[in-house]
């Protein structure tokens, strides 16, 4: 038994659930490496994976999203990658971190390693390993927003299980604001990520408040509005209009791989999300 196999109290029999579980462990190994590189003195964790790991969101997430909290910080991808790769290597895994093409203010990288070798290191049984092609790779996408809008707030957390590391992340109202902005700003015609909708629903059910200044600054940045709305009513109507044109069948398809079957929502439509928006509490 090694450190990774000792983490597995039981092994999922479903391949998708198995991969989601291992992916999250690999995400946290990546976060450990970034912490050792001093990354969180300059960048804050945000997005669905931050919500799952630190606030108990009940769905899996595939990416690691960060935003700059230090405008003078110059990213050093090579140094950052070496810390991440060494963290995996210390646990008996060979992963590599490679840069991805930048998209506007978003810089990125991909951390990847052989899927079969990784599951074997975690102690998965042979019948699960036999389902995996030898050349299949686990891929963790990293997005770094280098031009964070003003108005965010952060908090600092320390994680002790399954690995020890410290982190800076946006606070809940700022995370909620960023999620609302993402849900209404996706440039996919009538498509929206089902994961965005699920997270929005989760925030409301948890009684989270919205950082209004950060939300508005994000909406201006994304071109949803050109100036701050006159009042909360106008802001709510701007958000509601986006949910009137969502293809909810496509949203379900996007969500399906990331949520346990028993937790898949059944009541999504424009009226449902209008009711959520009208119940938002701004601060």
What is the length of the chain? 283
In this structure, are 122 and 176 located in the same domain?
Answer: no
283 lies in some domain:
no
CA distance 96 to 79: 12
So what's the pLDDT on residue 103? Answer: 79
Claim to verify: residue 215 and residue 87 sit in the same structural domain? no
Q: What is the pLDDT along the chain (283 residues), one digit of tens a residue?
A: 799 999 998 888 888 889 999 999 999 999 999 999 999 999 999 999 999 999 999 999 989 999 999 988 877 878 899 999 999 999 999 999 999 887 777 888 999 999 999 999 999 999 999 999 999 999 999 999 999 999 999 999 999 999 999 999 999 999 999 999 999 887 545 557 899 999 999 999 999 999 999 999 999 999 999 999 999 999 999 999 989 888 899 899 999 989 988 888 988 999 999 999 999 999 9
Nearest to 142 by CA among 109, 183, 118: 109
| Strand 95-103 with 137-145, pairing | unpaired
Beta carbons of 163 and 84 less than 8 angstroms apart: no
In a shared domain, residues 120 and 209: no
The domain tally of the chain equals 2
* DSSP conformational letter for 7: T
- For position 187, what pLDDT does the model report? 55
d(CA 193, CA 242): 13
CA dihedral 68, 142, 265, 186 (to 10 degrees): 70
pLDDT at position 102: 78
Residue 162 shares a structural domain with residue 191 = no
Tell me which of 170, 197, 217 is where a domain ends: 170
Decide: helix, strand or coil at residue 68: strand
């Amino acid at each position: 038994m090694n450190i990774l196999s000792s983490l597995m109290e039981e092994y999922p029999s479903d391949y998708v659930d198995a991969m989601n579980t291992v992916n999250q462990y690999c995400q946290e190994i990546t976060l450990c490496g970034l912490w050792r590189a001093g990354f969180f003195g300059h960048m804050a964790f945000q997005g669905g994976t931050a919500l799952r790991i630190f606030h108990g969101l009940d769905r899996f997430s595939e990416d690691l999203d960060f935003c700059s909290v230090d405008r003078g910080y110059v990213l050093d991808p090579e140094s950052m990658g070496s810390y991440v790769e060494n963290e995996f290597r210390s646990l008996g895994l060979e992963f590599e971190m490679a840069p991805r093409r930048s998209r506007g203010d978003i810089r990125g990288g991909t951390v990847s390693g052989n899927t079969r070798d990784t599951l074997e290191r975690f102690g998965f049984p042979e019948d699960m390993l036999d389902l995996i092609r030898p050349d299949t790779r686990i891929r963790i996408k990293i997005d770094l927003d280098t031009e964070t809008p003003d108005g965010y707030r952060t908090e600092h957390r320390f994680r002790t299980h399954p690995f020890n590391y410290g982190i800076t992340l946006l606070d809940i109202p700022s995370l909620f604001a960023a999620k609302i902005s993402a849900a209404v700003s996706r440039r996919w015609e009538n498509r929206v990520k089902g994961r965005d909708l699920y997270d929005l629903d989760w925030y409301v059910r948890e009684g989270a408040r919205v950082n209004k200044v950060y939300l508005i600054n994000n909406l201006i940045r994304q071109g949803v509005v050109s100036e701050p709305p006159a009042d909360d009513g106008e802001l709510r109507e701007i958000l509601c209009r986006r949910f009137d044109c969502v293809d909810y069948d496509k949203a379900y398809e996007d969500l399906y791989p990331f949520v346990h079957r028993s937790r898949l929502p059944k009541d999504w439509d424009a009226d449902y999300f209008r009711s959520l928006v009208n119940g938002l509490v701004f601060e």
